[in-house]
Protein backbone atom coordinates (compact mmCIF):
# COMPACT_ATOMS: atom_id res chain seq x y z
CA UNK A 1 0.00 0.00 0.00
CA UNK A 2 2.77 2.39 0.97
CA UNK A 3 4.75 1.54 -2.16
CA UNK A 4 1.78 2.18 -4.44
CA UNK A 5 1.11 5.47 -2.66
CA UNK A 6 4.72 6.54 -3.10
CA UNK A 7 4.60 5.51 -6.75
CA UNK A 8 1.44 7.55 -7.31
CA UNK A 9 3.01 10.51 -5.50
CA UNK A 10 6.12 10.26 -7.66
CA UNK A 11 4.07 10.22 -10.86
CA UNK A 12 1.97 13.14 -9.67
CA UNK A 13 5.05 15.22 -8.86
CA UNK A 14 6.59 14.34 -12.20
CA UNK A 15 3.41 15.35 -14.02
CA UNK A 16 2.91 18.60 -12.12
CA UNK A 17 6.58 19.57 -12.38
CA UNK A 18 6.13 20.24 -16.08
CA UNK A 19 5.00 23.69 -14.93
CA UNK A 20 6.90 25.59 -12.24
CA UNK A 21 5.33 24.92 -8.80
CA UNK A 22 5.30 28.63 -7.98
CA UNK A 23 2.59 29.19 -10.59
CA UNK A 24 0.30 26.69 -8.85
CA UNK A 25 0.92 28.39 -5.52
CA UNK A 26 0.35 31.79 -7.07
CA UNK A 27 -2.93 30.63 -8.59
CA UNK A 28 -4.24 29.13 -5.35
CA UNK A 29 -3.03 32.09 -3.30
CA UNK A 30 -4.80 34.41 -5.72
CA UNK A 31 -8.02 32.40 -5.36
CA UNK A 32 -7.83 32.72 -1.57
CA UNK A 33 -7.19 36.46 -1.71
CA UNK A 34 -9.63 37.26 -4.51
CA UNK A 35 -12.46 35.21 -3.04
CA UNK A 36 -11.87 36.79 0.35
CA UNK A 37 -12.00 40.24 -1.22
CA UNK A 38 -15.08 39.66 -3.38
CA UNK A 39 -16.93 37.66 -0.76
CA UNK A 40 -16.47 40.39 1.82
CA UNK A 41 -17.46 43.08 -0.64
CA UNK A 42 -20.58 41.00 -1.34
CA UNK A 43 -21.44 41.01 2.36
CA UNK A 44 -20.62 44.70 2.58
CA UNK A 45 -22.93 45.57 -0.31
CA UNK A 46 -25.65 42.97 0.09
CA UNK A 47 -25.85 42.46 3.86
CA UNK A 48 -24.68 45.86 5.12
CA UNK A 49 -21.45 44.61 6.66
CA UNK A 50 -19.52 47.33 8.50
CA UNK A 51 -16.53 49.03 6.89
CA UNK A 52 -14.28 47.98 9.77
CA UNK A 53 -15.22 44.34 9.34
CA UNK A 54 -14.65 44.63 5.59
CA UNK A 55 -11.14 46.05 5.98
CA UNK A 56 -10.16 43.51 8.64
CA UNK A 57 -11.50 40.61 6.57
CA UNK A 58 -9.61 41.69 3.46
CA UNK A 59 -6.41 42.08 5.49
CA UNK A 60 -6.89 38.46 6.60
CA UNK A 61 -7.53 37.42 2.98
CA UNK A 62 -4.27 39.08 1.91
CA UNK A 63 -2.44 37.44 4.80
CA UNK A 64 -3.65 33.91 4.04
CA UNK A 65 -3.32 34.41 0.29
CA UNK A 66 0.30 35.45 0.70
CA UNK A 67 1.10 32.43 2.84
CA UNK A 68 -0.37 30.10 0.21
CA UNK A 69 1.32 31.88 -2.70
CA UNK A 70 4.71 32.04 -0.96
CA UNK A 71 4.74 28.31 -0.26
CA UNK A 72 6.66 27.71 -3.48
CA UNK A 73 8.28 31.08 -3.99
CA UNK A 74 5.48 33.28 -5.34
CA UNK A 75 3.59 35.84 -3.32
CA UNK A 76 2.59 38.61 -5.74
CA UNK A 77 -1.19 38.03 -5.87
CA UNK A 78 -1.60 40.66 -8.57
CA UNK A 79 -0.16 41.44 -11.98
CA UNK A 80 -0.02 45.06 -10.83
CA UNK A 81 2.63 43.88 -8.34
CA UNK A 82 4.44 41.44 -10.64
CA UNK A 83 5.07 44.03 -13.36
CA UNK A 84 6.81 46.55 -11.05
CA UNK A 85 8.84 43.76 -9.47
CA UNK A 86 10.05 42.74 -12.92
CA UNK A 87 10.85 46.35 -13.76
CA UNK A 88 12.75 46.69 -10.49
CA UNK A 89 14.79 43.57 -11.20
CA UNK A 90 13.26 41.69 -8.28
CA UNK A 91 11.71 39.04 -10.53
CA UNK A 92 12.88 37.69 -13.93
CA UNK A 93 10.82 38.76 -16.94
CA UNK A 94 10.53 35.17 -18.15
CA UNK A 95 8.18 34.49 -15.22
CA UNK A 96 5.89 37.43 -15.94
CA UNK A 97 3.54 35.64 -18.41
CA UNK A 98 3.09 32.69 -16.04
CA UNK A 99 2.22 34.97 -13.15
CA UNK A 100 -0.27 36.95 -15.24
CA UNK A 101 -2.00 33.73 -16.33
CA UNK A 102 -2.06 32.42 -12.75
CA UNK A 103 -3.56 35.67 -11.45
CA UNK A 104 -6.22 35.85 -14.14
CA UNK A 105 -7.25 32.21 -13.70
CA UNK A 106 -7.39 32.77 -9.96
CA UNK A 107 -9.56 35.84 -10.50
CA UNK A 108 -11.94 33.98 -12.82
CA UNK A 109 -12.23 31.11 -10.32
CA UNK A 110 -12.92 33.43 -7.39
CA UNK A 111 -15.43 35.50 -9.36
CA UNK A 112 -17.32 32.41 -10.52
CA UNK A 113 -17.52 31.02 -6.98
CA UNK A 114 -18.64 34.37 -5.55
CA UNK A 115 -21.25 34.83 -8.25
CA UNK A 116 -22.56 31.31 -7.72
CA UNK A 117 -22.75 31.68 -3.93
CA UNK A 118 -24.60 35.01 -4.06
CA UNK A 119 -26.77 34.34 -7.11
CA UNK A 120 -29.84 33.44 -5.04
CA UNK A 121 -29.48 36.55 -2.90
CA UNK A 122 -29.28 38.69 -6.01
CA UNK A 123 -32.56 37.24 -7.24
CA UNK A 124 -34.40 37.25 -3.91
CA UNK A 125 -33.36 40.78 -3.00
CA UNK A 126 -33.57 41.95 -6.62
CA UNK A 127 -30.13 43.44 -6.16
CA UNK A 128 -29.43 46.50 -8.27
CA UNK A 129 -26.88 45.99 -11.02
CA UNK A 130 -24.80 48.83 -9.58
CA UNK A 131 -24.43 46.89 -6.32
CA UNK A 132 -23.33 43.83 -8.25
CA UNK A 133 -20.71 45.88 -10.07
CA UNK A 134 -19.49 47.31 -6.75
CA UNK A 135 -19.09 43.78 -5.47
CA UNK A 136 -17.38 42.32 -8.53
CA UNK A 137 -15.28 45.24 -9.78
CA UNK A 138 -13.92 48.67 -9.01
CA UNK A 139 -17.02 50.74 -9.54
CA UNK A 140 -18.19 54.19 -8.37
CA UNK A 141 -20.93 54.28 -5.71
CA UNK A 142 -22.67 57.17 -7.49
CA UNK A 143 -22.76 58.51 -11.03
CA UNK A 144 -21.54 61.98 -10.04
CA UNK A 145 -17.90 61.03 -9.47
CA UNK A 146 -15.50 62.16 -12.17
CA UNK A 147 -13.46 59.58 -14.01
CA UNK A 148 -10.30 61.56 -13.25
CA UNK A 149 -11.02 61.19 -9.53
CA UNK A 150 -11.52 57.46 -9.88
CA UNK A 151 -8.33 57.18 -11.90
CA UNK A 152 -6.31 59.07 -9.28
CA UNK A 153 -7.72 56.98 -6.45
CA UNK A 154 -6.70 53.78 -8.21
CA UNK A 155 -3.33 55.28 -9.11
CA UNK A 156 -2.57 56.26 -5.51
CA UNK A 157 -3.67 52.88 -4.19
CA UNK A 158 -1.36 51.05 -6.59
CA UNK A 159 1.45 53.51 -5.88
CA UNK A 160 1.12 52.95 -2.15
CA UNK A 161 1.06 49.17 -2.34
CA UNK A 162 3.93 48.82 -4.81
CA UNK A 163 6.06 51.39 -2.99
CA UNK A 164 5.41 49.56 0.26
CA UNK A 165 6.18 46.14 -1.24
CA UNK A 166 9.47 47.41 -2.65
CA UNK A 167 10.41 48.85 0.73
CA UNK A 168 9.32 45.85 2.78
CA UNK A 169 11.13 43.36 0.53
CA UNK A 170 14.25 45.50 0.08
CA UNK A 171 17.36 43.43 0.85
CA UNK A 172 18.82 46.44 2.69
CA UNK A 173 15.85 46.61 5.01
CA UNK A 174 16.97 45.44 8.49
CA UNK A 175 13.53 43.93 9.09
CA UNK A 176 13.78 41.65 6.08
CA UNK A 177 12.07 38.37 6.97
CA UNK A 178 9.32 36.43 5.13
CA UNK A 179 6.97 36.45 8.12
CA UNK A 180 7.49 40.18 8.58
CA UNK A 181 6.84 40.70 4.87
CA UNK A 182 3.48 38.96 4.98
CA UNK A 183 2.21 40.80 8.05
CA UNK A 184 3.53 44.19 6.94
CA UNK A 185 2.06 43.94 3.44
CA UNK A 186 -1.32 42.83 4.82
CA UNK A 187 -1.46 45.73 7.27
CA UNK A 188 -0.40 48.15 4.53
CA UNK A 189 -3.25 46.98 2.28
CA UNK A 190 -5.65 47.42 5.19
CA UNK A 191 -4.47 50.97 5.77
CA UNK A 192 -4.97 51.83 2.10
CA UNK A 193 -8.40 50.21 2.08
CA UNK A 194 -9.40 52.38 5.01
CA UNK A 195 -8.18 55.59 3.41
CA UNK A 196 -9.11 55.00 -0.24
CA UNK A 197 -12.02 53.42 -2.04
CA UNK A 198 -14.77 55.99 -1.54
CA UNK A 199 -14.79 56.93 -5.22
CA UNK A 200 -14.39 53.56 -6.85
CA UNK A 201 -14.57 50.78 -4.24
CA UNK A 202 -11.02 49.97 -5.22
CA UNK A 203 -9.93 46.36 -5.47
CA UNK A 204 -6.33 47.09 -6.46
CA UNK A 205 -6.13 44.02 -8.66
CA UNK A 206 -6.56 44.51 -12.42
CA UNK A 207 -6.93 40.76 -12.90
CA UNK A 208 -9.86 40.61 -10.48
CA UNK A 209 -11.44 43.71 -11.98
CA UNK A 210 -11.36 42.21 -15.47
CA UNK A 211 -12.64 38.84 -14.27
CA UNK A 212 -15.40 40.55 -12.30
CA UNK A 213 -16.54 42.45 -15.37
CA UNK A 214 -16.66 39.28 -17.42
CA UNK A 215 -18.71 37.44 -14.78
CA UNK A 216 -20.98 40.41 -14.02
CA UNK A 217 -21.62 40.73 -17.74
CA UNK A 218 -23.53 37.45 -17.45
CA UNK A 219 -25.84 38.81 -14.77
CA UNK A 220 -25.90 42.56 -15.26
CA UNK A 221 -25.84 42.38 -19.05
CA UNK A 222 -23.77 45.33 -20.27
CA UNK A 223 -23.58 47.21 -16.95
CA UNK A 224 -19.93 46.45 -16.46
CA UNK A 225 -18.93 47.88 -19.79
CA UNK A 226 -21.16 50.75 -20.80
CA UNK A 227 -23.02 52.31 -17.85
CA UNK A 228 -20.17 54.78 -17.40
CA UNK A 229 -18.97 54.52 -20.96
CA UNK A 230 -16.71 51.87 -22.41
CA UNK A 231 -13.65 53.88 -21.44
CA UNK A 232 -14.23 53.21 -17.73
CA UNK A 233 -13.03 49.65 -18.27
CA UNK A 234 -9.57 51.05 -18.96
CA UNK A 235 -9.40 53.22 -15.81
CA UNK A 236 -8.60 50.42 -13.32
CA UNK A 237 -6.23 48.78 -15.78
CA UNK A 238 -4.14 51.83 -16.69
CA UNK A 239 -4.30 53.52 -13.29
CA UNK A 240 -3.10 50.46 -11.38
CA UNK A 241 -0.23 49.67 -13.73
CA UNK A 242 0.82 53.31 -14.06
CA UNK A 243 0.69 53.75 -10.28
CA UNK A 244 2.95 50.75 -9.84
CA UNK A 245 5.33 52.04 -12.52
CA UNK A 246 5.55 55.46 -10.85
CA UNK A 247 6.23 53.85 -7.47
CA UNK A 248 9.00 51.72 -8.96
CA UNK A 249 10.73 54.69 -10.59
CA UNK A 250 10.57 56.86 -7.47
CA UNK A 251 11.72 54.06 -5.17
CA UNK A 252 14.64 53.25 -7.44
CA UNK A 253 15.76 56.87 -7.85
CA UNK A 254 15.36 58.13 -4.31
CA UNK A 255 15.92 55.04 -2.15
CA UNK A 256 17.43 51.97 -3.80
CA UNK A 257 20.07 53.78 -5.85
CA UNK A 258 21.08 55.71 -2.72
CA UNK A 259 21.65 52.70 -0.48
CA UNK A 260 24.93 53.01 1.47
CA UNK A 261 26.52 50.17 -0.50
CA UNK A 262 25.77 51.90 -3.80
CA UNK A 263 26.93 55.34 -2.69
CA UNK A 264 30.12 53.94 -1.14
CA UNK A 265 31.00 51.98 -4.27
CA UNK A 266 30.49 55.11 -6.35
CA UNK A 267 32.84 57.03 -4.06
CA UNK A 268 35.48 54.33 -4.44
CA UNK A 269 35.13 54.42 -8.22
CA UNK A 270 35.46 58.20 -8.19
CA UNK A 271 38.64 58.01 -6.09
CA UNK A 272 40.14 55.44 -8.44
CA UNK A 273 39.50 57.77 -11.34
Question: pLDDT tens across 64-112, in order?
Answer: 999 999 888 778 999 999 999 999 999 999 999 999 999 999 999 998 8
**What is the band of 273 on the pLDDT scale with cuts at 50, 70, 90?**
very low
Any domain includes 268: no
The whole-number average pLDDT for the span 47-68 is 85
Any domain includes 79: yes
The whole-number average pLDDT for the span 21-50 is 85
Any domain includes 247: yes
Q: What is the pTM of this model?
A: 0.85
Any domain includes 12: no
Any domain includes 271: no
Q: What is the pLDDT of residue 104?
A: 93
Any domain includes 269: no
Any domain includes 262: no
Q: What is the pLDDT of residue 229?
A: 47
Q: What is the pLDDT of residue 1?
A: 61
- How many independent structural domains does the chain possess? 1
CATH number at residue 248: 1.20.1080.10
Burial of 21 (0-12, 13-18, 19+ CB in 10 A): middle
Domain that holds residue 124: 20-256
**What is the band of 227 on the pLDDT scale with cuts at 50, 70, 90?**
very low
CA distance 48 to 7: 51
For 107-131, the DSSP string reads HHHHHHHHHHHHHHHHHHTT--HHH
Q: Which residue has the higher pLDDT, 69 or 178?
A: 69
Sign of CA dihedral 133, 137, 141, 144: negative
Any domain includes 150: yes
Amino acid sequence: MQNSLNEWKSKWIQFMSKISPEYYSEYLGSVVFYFGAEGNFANFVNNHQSMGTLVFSIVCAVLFGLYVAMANGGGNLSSAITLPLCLAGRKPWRKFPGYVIAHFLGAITASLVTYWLYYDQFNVKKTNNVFIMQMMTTYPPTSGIRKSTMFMEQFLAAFGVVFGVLAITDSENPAEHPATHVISISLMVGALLGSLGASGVFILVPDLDLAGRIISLIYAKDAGWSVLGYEYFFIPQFSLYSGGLAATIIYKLFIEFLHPNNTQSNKVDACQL
